[in-house]
Amino acid sequence: MMKTEDINMESAPRELTQNPLKKIWIPCVNGLPEKHISQRKVCMTNCPTLIVTVGLPARGKTYISKKLTRYLNWIGVPTKEFNVGQYRRECVKIYKSFEFFRPDNEEGLKIRRQCALAALNDVRQYLSVEGGQVAVFDATNTTRERRGTITRFAEQNRFKVFFVESVCEDPTVIAENIVQVKLGSPDYTDCNTEEAVADFMKRIKCYENSYQPLDEVLDRDLSFIKVMDVGRRYLVNRVQDHIQSRIVYYLMNIHITPRSIYLCRHGESDLNVNGRIGGDSGLSARGKEFAKCLGKFIQDQNIKDLKVWTSQMKRTIQTAEALAVPYEQWKALNEIDAGVCEELMYEEIQQHFPLEFALRDQDKYRYRYPKGESYEDLVQRLEPVIMELERQENVLVVCHQAVMRCLLAYFLDKSADELPYLKCPLHTVLKLTPVAYGCKVESVCLNVEAVNTHRDRPENVDISRMAEEALFTVPAHE
């Protein structure tokens, strides 16, 4: 029987120490943080999740897969897409015709089965060994037999499964998808448009007879969302956890209506001119000139039903005021909070907080300013903005350097390491136009001079570095 003192010893609370990078309290042993605990990622699901697409070809499954993967990675959930069509192309180097997909083509069936199993093996490796939290299995998965195989695979490996079915009967949408996406596929590099469309329509026919859509009665035990006619209607069944609810919420907000999103920073501010970060100063003379030019640029673009969003900080509101159009203020769009470093020059941060300056250079995305925020915090704060941007059509966002980096990283699928170093110069407008599986970017400089506020990561990020090395990449200022 266990003694009372043993129980007391085992249940005694551990000592805590503050992680210098993230400023969070963590357990320690002999004054040192527990091994790797500071590097652990937040897990939003109690076991890995396998998202499985369902639907006929040209129904937007890959579009959904890529957007979901991009969104989940952006919010900090390690996610990877596994496109079975890509496995098939690697296996069968030359695509001949739709005949490969005929249900009576034994050789084709065998190859497609092998490709699906190869993809599932890679899913297992990613979720069980490589530390992934979500895998997106992108294929037609049109039969209950195939979905049953995937469900058994998931059960054997203790993964949760969430099916995402895309159903579309609108011939215009299907034809548009074929022309925009499928004709650019490696399968049709040597085909003219008419031949390619005809072949792909026959490929769809190969799946139609055996297609068994998800059914709310027959499949009532499965977790799924059914997206009908590109988001006109939805059917959601048995959402099991937080990550699945996030996926449902996201999918119910995206749309395919053509539109553009315009991102720019406020005009140059007085603190920008002095090389000071943060703060809430007004615009410099050049910043006011940019605001006027921005108003003329937006007017010349003649954008239908444009919405304008700003932060609640003076410099973005002053910039929007010059547009002479209604605008909406978002607190979520405020610049990253630099805490004790607000309104300091980089030289002053190095002088007063050299350790903090070095730690930020070591991991700029996760570093949190004392009494302030990190880029990681900022991404979480900006998630409602991204959701609303996905819901809207044409929007101009007048924001700040760190905020613009986070928004840009979402649309351009940039990693956490790349995000804090994306270049977002003052007095430049970025026009983002969603296309097929990505985003087209046009950069428009409005030709009003401004200081450079971009600081590259210095080569030496060690805490013992000399001040000159730390300040080597600081941009010039007054």
Could you tell me the pLDDT band of residue 131, with boundaries at 50, 70 and 90?
very high
Instruction: Say whether pLDDT at 3 is over 70.
Output: no
- Of the chain, the percentage scoring pLDDT greater than 70 comes to 95
Instruction: Say whether pLDDT at 436 is over 90.
Output: no
Instruction: Say whether pLDDT at 81 is over 60.
Output: yes
Distance of CA 282 to the CA centre of its chain: 32
Catalytic site residue from 335, 337, 373, 376? 335
Residue 7: per-residue pLDDT:
45
Catalytic site residue from 115, 187, 264, 266? 266
pLDDT, tens digit (0-9, with 9 covering 90-100), for 340-388:
999 999 999 999 999 999 999 999 999 999 999 999 999 999 999 999 9
DSSP string, 362-424: H-TTT---TTS--HHHHHHHHHHHHHHHHH-SSEEEEE-HHHHHHHHHHHHT--TTTGGG---
* Residue 477 a catalytic site member: no
pLDDT, tens digit (0-9, with 9 covering 90-100), for 302-345:
999 999 999 999 999 999 999 999 999 999 999 999 999 999 99
Instruction: Say whether pLDDT at 1 is over 60.
Output: no
Catalytic site residue from 81, 115, 165, 168? 168
* Residue 168 a catalytic site member: yes
Q: Which of 37-46, 63-72, 257-266, 327-336 bottoms out in mean pLDDT, i.e. has the lowest?
A: 37-46
* CA-angle at 347, arms to 346 and 352, nearest 5°: 95
* Residue 266 a catalytic site member: yes
Residue 31: per-residue pLDDT:
67
Contacts of 441 (CB under 8 A, 6+ apart): 412, 430, 431, 432
Give the other-Cβ count within 10 Å of 49's Cβ: 27
* Residue 36 a catalytic site member: no
Catalytic site residue from 138, 187, 356, 361? 138
Residue 402: per-residue pLDDT:
98
C-alpha to C-alpha distance for 422 and 245, rounded to whole angstroms: 31
Q: Which helix (H) or strand (E) holds 110?
A: helix 106-128
Average pLDDT estimate for 287-301: 97
Average pLDDT estimate for 211-218: 97
- Give bridge partners of residue 205 from the DSSP assignment: none
Instruction: Say whether pLDDT at 37 is over 60.
Output: no
Could you tell me the pLDDT band of residue 35, with boundaries at 50, 70 and 90?
low
C-alpha to C-alpha distance for 227 and 276, rounded to whole angstroms: 48
